[in-house]
Chain A
Amino acid sequence: MLQRVVRSTVIDAPIDRVWAVLRDFNSHDRWHDVVAESRIEGGERSDQVGCVRSFTLNDGSRIREQLLTLSDSEHRSTYCIVDATVPLQRYVATLTLKPVTDGDGTFWHWESTFATPPGRERELAQMVGRDVYEAGFANLRRYLERGADLRDARSGGGAMPTSLPLPSRRALVRRYGGPEVLESDEGEAAAPGAGEVRIRQRAIGVNYFDVYLRKGWIPALLPLPGVLGMEAAGSVVDVGPGVSGLLPGDRVAYVGAQPGAYCSVRTVPATCVVRVPAEIDDDVAAATLLKGITADFVLRDLGRVGAGTRILVHAAAGGVGLLVCSWARRLGATVIGTVSSEEKARVARGYGCDHPIVTRDHRFAEVVQRQFDGVDVVVDGIGEAARDENLAALARRGHWISLGQASGALQAISSDELVAKSITFSRPAVFDFVATHASLAERARRVWDALADGTLRAPPIERHALGAAGEAHARLESRRTVGALVLVA
């Protein structure tokens, strides 16, 4: 049996003034005596629906509550207890204000339903009704009478430093080379200009592409000193003129055409930013946005993978490899993969790679031809070292999709090598597949929908601190990692 507690009062102050205090989900430690300390988790805004306030009461109880709805037009907020040391179960509360139009007062209605352990119904209903709601009425009345809300608004409001650069920790490359060239450094994120968004980053995706840039293979894209990184996830700090649809506090991720993501605060064009659904964590977003989009265009646009397609995925236990395997399997493909160890074979198998081939020297063509009569698609991040094996493993009219060159730059391929089996060769760059914001948003949504409904399984994630970016690179190049690497800012 659910308990229902209802309390209401009339406050002798205009509704806008009362609402200005109560709409702030984190204001209660300022006006309610029973609340000792409160903070919003994850650095979110206190009027962000979905945010969680974590607070302690004077008696030492700890409570976490989540804001479920907030309506400025109806002056109403709904919230629930997520967990608490007090035994209130399934607690959902609604706070509503209404104007008293004859006069200048405010009607305040506060109600909740909850379950309790047997025998404690009355005690807990009284605690909620008297100690929280009725005491809250008296406390807020006093808070307003003293004018404390006006003082707090002056000191706490408008704290957004919209026109100032913000300090940003970053991993800097001053010279091209091995993982050791990544240095910790302090930089700045400029205030967002027109069409730009400034993001406080919490998770940064590490891609093998970053290694190529670090080695100096594409100096035009990374002039020195430079910052690596093509993708990250976090929250919007502020937005520049002309940006619509994004507000401070929104959880977002981006894939940039320019490197620079290995930092704690970054300003990027709004056109490369997408929102992150609540069910996708920051590190999952950072680990799957670019890699998932890669899997999406490889399977849909280039490979046209469907039921019965034979697909060979190199580095099948890597970040991109696991995403391609699990998605291809769901599309009905026969998934063959190469991995460098039995351990990785086991992981890849768990992600839908039916036929992992363990090979440390990139020898696989003979097995592929013998068992499957060749493959229709090769997804290749190895490059030169697997060149002849790839050509040999492909079936007639097969498609070699070259995503990367971890073993070294691919030498020129002659058309004679292709015509021998009517082979197609693709060398895609992800940024051409997300060139418009609409195409980026569509692909990101497909990835996140697939993750949310289980079609796609997020890879295991190995986390490294931003200050240890060099270690993350060393791990990635060691070929000992499984899944995706993420830097935590």
Chain B
Amino acid sequence: MIRVYVSSVIDASADTVWSRIRDFNGMPQWHPGIADSRIENGEASDRVGCIRHFHTRDGGRIRERLLALSDYDYQCVYEILESPMGVENYVATLKLTPVTDGARCFAEWSAEFDCDEGRERSLVETIGDGVFQGGFDALKRHFARR
């Protein structure tokens, strides 16, 4: 089991950042790596169990299922059903925690998965540096501009 963990501090309250990222179908609006997204079968995007079907900017097609959503903990958990990355048992968690001394929040994005030996390093880089850190960087840029 491989674990990827990325964390950051974003200069906006957890409430504010959460309202930007909680929509399971809203990745294209805030993450630069995502081209489009839809929820299968017309379900609501905050219904636990719904499946998002999206494409990355480099053309990859990915299906992910929402496993848990907590507005109270500012946290969502999801798994990959289909992807071109060659990962199995992939479960990821995106979570915000308020930083009480200032309008900031602590953001964590982590994933655990299995993959072929030898691909671990490149996958950790793709997922950690590309997807997770890329997302945080975009959020930091967005909230720094305001």
Interface residues of A (CB under 8 A from B): 6-10, 98-103, 105, 107, 109, 134, 137
Contacts and interface: CB of A to CB of B under 8 A. Distances in A.
Given A10-B106, A107-B106, A102 B6 contact: yes
A8 B100 contact: yes
B12 to A, nearest CB: 14
**From DSSP, what is the main secondary structure of chain B's interface residues?**
strand
Interface of B: 5-9, 97-101, 104, 106, 108, 133, 136-137
Contact of A100 (B100, B101, B106, B137): B106
A483 B101 CA distance: 60
Contacts of A103: 8-9
A137 B101 contact: yes
Contacts of B98: 6, 8
A7 B6 CA distance: 22
Contacts of B6: 101-102
B5 A101 contact: yes
Contact of A98 (B7, B101, B133, B137): B7
Contacts of A100: 7-9, 106
B99 A107 contact: yes
A101 B99 CA distance: 16
A41 B97 CA distance: 35
B9 A10 contact: yes
Contacts of B9: 10, 100, 103, 105, 107
B106 A98 contact: yes
Instruction: List the 8 closest pairs (A to B, CB-CB), nearest first.
Output: A107-B106, A102-B8, A9-B101, A7-B100, A101-B7, A8-B100, A8-B99, A101-B6
Contacts of B97: 8, 107, 109
A234 B50 CA distance: 59
Contacts of A7: 100-101
A423 to B, nearest CB: 66
A239 to B, nearest CB: 34
B104 A10 contact: yes
A126 B75 CA distance: 28
A105 B97 CA distance: 15
Contacts of B100: 6-9
A7 B98 CA distance: 9
A8 B101 contact: yes
A103 B101 CA distance: 19
Contacts of A101: 5-8, 133
A101 B129 CA distance: 10
Residue with the highest number of chain B CB atoms closer than 10 Å, among A6, A100, A102, A105: A102
A418 to B, nearest CB: 68
Contacts of A102: 6-8, 133, 136-137
A9 B108 contact: no
